[in-house]
Amino acid sequence: MRRAIVMTIGVILALIVAVPVAFGQSGPTMLVDGLDVRTAASGLATPVSMAFIGRDDMLVLEKNTGKVQRVVNGVVQSQAVLDLAVNSGSERGLLGIALHPNFPTNPGVYLYWTESTTGADSNLLSEVPLLGNRVDRFVWNGSTLTFDRNLIKLRAYQADGGQSLRGNHNGGVIRFGPDGKLYVIVGDVGRRGQMQNLGDGPTGPGISDDQFGGPEPDDAHLTSVILRLNDDGTSPTDNPFYAAGAAIGGEAGANIQKIFAYGIRNSFGMSFDPRSGNLWTQENGDDAFDELNLVRPGMNGGWVQIMGPASRIRQYKGIEVDDSNSLQQLRWPPTNIADSPAEARSRLFALPGSVYSDPEFSWKHAVAPAGLGFVKGSGLGRKYRGDLFVGAATINLKGGYLFHFNLTRKRNALTVNDAQLKDRVADNRAKFGFAESKSLLIGRGFGVGTDIQTGPSGKLYVVSPSEGVIYEIHRKGTN
């Protein structure tokens, strides 16, 4: 069962290199009156993320080719504005884009990508540097992107504990917040150390995280985190663990100063609420408890000790033991998961000032969410203003679902009107099961949806790598 999520995001995206394959059968459909969907751009190879540089002018990342394509009025231009030599094995590749908050006055374009060691595109899992995931700043001159500087290099290579090579859980979404800082989300990359709430590593005191050291978050082990950086890559002095990192010192201490949150397993979605400025993410479990999270400064998300609400720790343990018995790390099997909420919380690795928080919403068995984004403005009508949309990392459920959530007036929680969801958990009975999620469904047939953003026109855009297209959600009767 555990391999299903890897098949959806990892293998599907690895196979679609040059020719988009339509998995959505009859295409996407909106399931509410008043909204419709059309194809805004097609002919793309594994598009994964986008950024608008004008009203009908966007830069689109192709995960597997390493190309940044320009799409003007729905037409992919003949020449890519940048072509990077990427390693696209599994969930690696060209993954995230963010424009400087003062763009185009400041022409900085930031990219998260996985470097190939060959100097050419590669999908072989071995052909990547240890620190092969990188965030770089490029400069936009109106037609091309030119390298300016590297901000940070992060762990990409996965091979330890007698396991086969892997290339997943890289994260890769980057966003500038309303505070002008750059936020970078990184999955666990298969690591088991302090940032995964194992203070002494996977097997006990004195044992390293892997063949490269750890469990401290030195450069080779800075994973399971959301980083908050200045636009030049330096650490803001008001980061939640800045003082703690200074006290620890060394490479690990300097990295801790960059951290905004930790204890994160894997994520394909991160977005700022346009009304409150709050940061929201989705997080994929292994077999149990996919999550939606409101991320506050200093949050400890709980992984690997906790997924889903702490009160459901027995269900988390039971599902993972029954379905996989590995949690993708042979040296810390799910039989090690605590038997009570109190025991689980007592095991968390506590940086000074860290705060554990339950997810705002979760699914008991994995449904594999992916991109998420807010509706900015009233382009879809006032009833959807400020609402949250969530896409799928799999085509196994409704051909690629699109979920819809309202937020409370204070914008610090999700509003649910379904009595079954008052506990903020959809109690589906099996992996990719749909029980208790019917009231959340607003669209289907979108394929894998890795990025959801409101465009300058107020319409909502969904990037689908499995379909090779970008969809536009709009009000019926509008062009």
| Mean pLDDT of the 185-192 span | 96
| Mean pLDDT of the 158-175 span | 93
16, pLDDT greater than 50: no
The token pair that represents 402 in the structure block: 């699109």
Q: Max CA-CA distance within the chain?
A: 65
Q: Distance between CA atoms of 188 and 263, rounded to whole angstroms?
A: 8
DSSP 9: I
Q: Distance between CA atoms of 157 and 168, rounded to whole angstroms?
A: 10
> How confident is the model at residue 25, as a pLDDT?
52
**pLDDT (tens digit, 9 = 90+) per residue, 167-177?**
999 999 999 99
Shortest CA distance to 295 belongs to which of 360, 345, 239, 198?
360
Which residues are paired to 109 by β-bridges? 99, 138
Percent of the chain with pLDDT over 90: 87
DSSP 430: S
Residue type, 355: V
Q: Distance between CA atoms of 175 and 231, rounded to whole angstroms?
A: 11
Specify the range with the lowest mean pLDDT, choosing from 34-43, 81-90, 154-163, 380-389. 154-163
6, pLDDT greater than 70: no
The token pair that represents 191 in the structure block: 């690591």
Q: Distance between CA atoms of 115 and 255, rounded to whole angstroms?
A: 21
Residue type, 21: V
DSSP 3-state of 138: strand
Please, which pLDDT band fits residue 440 given cuts at 50, 70 and 90? very high
**What average pLDDT does the structure give for the chain?**
93
CA distances from 448 to 251, 284, 290, 384 (A): 37, 14, 16, 22
Which residues are paired to 11 by β-bridges? none
24, pLDDT greater than 90: no
> How confident is the model at residue 328, as a pLDDT?
85
Q: Which domains does the chain have, with CATH numbers?
A: 3-475 (2.120.10.30)
Specify the range with the lowest mean pLDDT, choosing from 23-32, 94-103, 388-397. 23-32
Please, which pLDDT band fits residue 10 given cuts at 50, 70 and 90? low
**pLDDT (tens digit, 9 = 90+) per residue, 261-305?**
999 999 999 999 999 999 999 999 999 999 999 999 999 999 999
